[in-house]
Chain A
Amino acid sequence: MAENWSLVKRKKALQQRTRILQGIRQFLTEKGYLEVETPHRVPTPAPESHIDAIPSGTWFLHTSPELCMKRMMSAGYERIFQICRCWREKERGSLHLPEFSLLEWYRAGGDYHSLMEECEGLIRFVAGTIGLGKRIVFRSHEIDLSEPWGRISVNEAFRRYSKTSMIEALEQNLFDEVMVQEIEPNLGVDRPMFIHDYPAQRGALARLKREDPTVAERFELYIGGLELANGFSELIDPSEQRERFRIENKNRQSLGKPIYSMPENFLAELDHMPPSSGIALGVDRLVMVLLDVGTIDEVVAFTPEEL
Chain B
Amino acid sequence: MYTASDLRKGLKVIIDNGPYIVTAFEFSKPGKGQALYRTKLRNMITGLTIDRTFREGDTFEPASLEERAMQFLYKEGDQYHFMDNETYEQIVINEESLGDAKNFLIENLNVEVLLFRDRAIGVELSNFVNLRVIKTDPWVRGDTSKADFKPATLETGYVLRVPPFIEEGELITVDTRTGEFSKRVKE
Give chain A's interface residues, CB within 8 Å of chain B: 1, 3, 5, 9, 48-51, 90-96, 175-177, 179-181, 184, 198, 202-204, 220, 227, 230, 255-256
Contacts and interface: CB of A to CB of B under 8 A. Distances in A.
Nearest to B175: A6
A180 B31 contact: no
A255 B58 CA distance: 11
Given A5-B181, A9-B148, A181-B53, A90 B35 contact: yes
A61 B163 CA distance: 39
Contact of B28 (A1, A49, A180): A180
B182 interface: yes
B30 A180 contact: yes
B33 A5 contact: no
B184 A180 contact: no
A202 B33 contact: yes
B182 A256 contact: no
B32 A204 contact: yes
B85 to A, nearest CB: 31
Contact of A93 (B26, B183, B184): B26
Contacts of A184: 30
A49 B184 CA distance: 47
A96 B29 CA distance: 9
B130 interface: no
A227 B32 CA distance: 12
A256 B57 contact: yes
In the A-B complex, the 3 residue pairs with the smallest Cβ-Cβ separation, listed nearest first, are A93-B27, A176-B33, A179-B30
Contacts of A95: 27-28
A5 B182 contact: yes
